[in-house]
């Protein structure tokens, strides 16, 4: 007997469904995010069908042999509890191992974590989604070290960004910067790049992140100036729990923790990065 479940590559014709199931879940990504995933790796984005009808999605991102990512694991409410999420994850893992990825990571919701545990994923650290329903700028003296992001900056973030994240992700950062409402860079007194941060449009709220810098003070200054561009708007900000300066700043300035997630990994975590140096994450779908 043939199975009613089929997993195939996602195509541009599937994006309307993909974004509709994203909207039903209340996630913050946009159609531009789906298009970016497809453009970056069309063979690494997947659609699950049940008796020929679209039922679920998943995406992958390969950063380096040391690290790849699974994101956008979504199942339409009408098709849950049929093993679709597990089938999508197994296809993602098979694909990423075929690409030579030695470690696969994801950010798990409490509900999804049950499936990831069964597949052998291990906990790395926890994080929280912080939200401000209506942010108002803080009194702030503009810092002359902060300037607008330039295309060439992507080539200069590796020394501190790879230390924070674990591997180089300049291609993804560059793509996200192009999508951002505001992208800022931080220089030292000699003009060397020592930090960057993005404020991006989302379907539910503005999204702060990623933000990485060589010091907490520099990161907080970037965050202040990015948040100033979100006057009066709803803002999401994902912060690793080990990053006390970022979480403290969020709590002190009107943000509240809305949900908890767990960063998990499968395989050898050879490039763990440093959660204390990640002041805002790129999003659960990217790390």
Ordered structural domains, the chain, with CATH: 5-101 (3.40.630.30), 130-280 (3.40.630.30)
Nearest to 149 by CA among 107, 171, 178: 178
CA 154 to CA 193: how far, in whole Å? 10
Nearest to 280 by CA among 182, 163, 197: 197
Distances (CA, A) of 247 to 4, 42, 215, 275: 45, 36, 15, 12
The two tokens of residue 64 are: 């380096």
Residue 128 has pLDDT above 70, yes or no: yes
Residue 266 sits at φ, ψ, to 5 deg, of -125, 125
- Tell me the three state secondary structure of residue 234: coil
Q: What confidence category does residue 185 fall into, taking pLDDT thresholds of 50, 70 and 90?
A: very high
Spatial CB neighbours of 34, under 8 Å, sequence gap ≥ 6:
15, 18, 19, 22, 72
Return the ∠ at Cα 91 (arms to 111 and 108), rounded to 5°.
Answer: 25
| Residue range 246-260, pLDDT digits in tens | 999 999 999 999 999
Give the percent of the chain with pLDDT over 70.
98
Give the percent of the chain with pLDDT over 90.
92
Distances (CA, A) of 150 to 163, 168, 183, 218: 21, 18, 9, 18
The two tokens of residue 119 are: 């597949």
Residue 277 has pLDDT above 90, yes or no: yes
The two tokens of residue 48 are: 């699950």
- Tell me the three state secondary structure of residue 261: strand
Q: What is the dihedral of CA 235, 239, 243, 248, to 10 degrees?
A: 30
Q: What confidence category does residue 136 fall into, taking pLDDT thresholds of 50, 70 and 90?
A: confident
Residue 76 has pLDDT above 80, yes or no: yes
Q: Which residue has the higher pLDDT, 183 or 137?
A: 183
Q: What confidence category does residue 232 fall into, taking pLDDT thresholds of 50, 70 and 90?
A: confident
Give the pLDDT score at 1: 66
Say if residues 172 and 201 touch (Cβ distance below 8 Å).
Answer: no
Residue 138 has pLDDT above 80, yes or no: no
Residue 75 has pLDDT above 80, yes or no: yes
- Mean pLDDT in residue range 47-59: 97
CA 46 to CA 60: how far, in whole Å? 9
CA 18 to CA 34: how far, in whole Å? 8
């Amino acid at each position: 007997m043939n199975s009613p479940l089929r997993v195939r590559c996602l195509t541009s014709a599937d994006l309307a469904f993909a974004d509709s199931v994203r909207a039903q879940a209340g996630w913050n990504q946009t159609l531009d995010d789906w298009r970016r995933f497809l453009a970056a790796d069309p063979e690494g984005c997947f659609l699950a069908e049940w008796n020929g009808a679209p039922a679920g999605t998943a995406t992958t991102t390969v950063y380096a042999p040391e690290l790849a990512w699974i994101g956008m694991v979504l199942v339409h409410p009408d098709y849950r509890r049929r093993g679709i999420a597990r089938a999508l994850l197994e296809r993602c893992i098979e694909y990423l191992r075929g690409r030579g990825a030695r470690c696969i990571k994801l950010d798990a919701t409490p509900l999804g974590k049950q499936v990831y545990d069964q597949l052998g994923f291990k906990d790395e650290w926890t994080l929280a989604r912080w939200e401000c329903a209506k942010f108002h700028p803080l009194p702030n003296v503009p810092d002359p070290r902060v300037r607008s992001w330039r295309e060439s900056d992507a080539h200069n973030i590796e020394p501190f960004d790879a230390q924070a994240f674990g591997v180089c992700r300049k291609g993804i950062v560059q793509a996200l910067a192009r999508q951002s409402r505001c992208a800022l860079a931080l220089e030292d007194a000699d003009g060397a790049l020592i930090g960057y941060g993005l404020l991006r449009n989302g379907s539910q709220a503005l999204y702060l992140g990623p933000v990485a810098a060589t010091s907490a003070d520099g990161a907080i200054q970037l965050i202040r100036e990015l948040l100033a561009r979100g006057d009066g708007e709803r803002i999401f900000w994902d912060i690793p729990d080990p990053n006390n300066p970022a979480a403290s700043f969020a709590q002190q300035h009107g943000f509240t923790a809305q949900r908890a997630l767990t960063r998990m990994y499968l395989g050898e975590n050879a490039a763990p990065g440093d959660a204390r140096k990640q002041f805002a994450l790129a999003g659960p779908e990217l790390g």
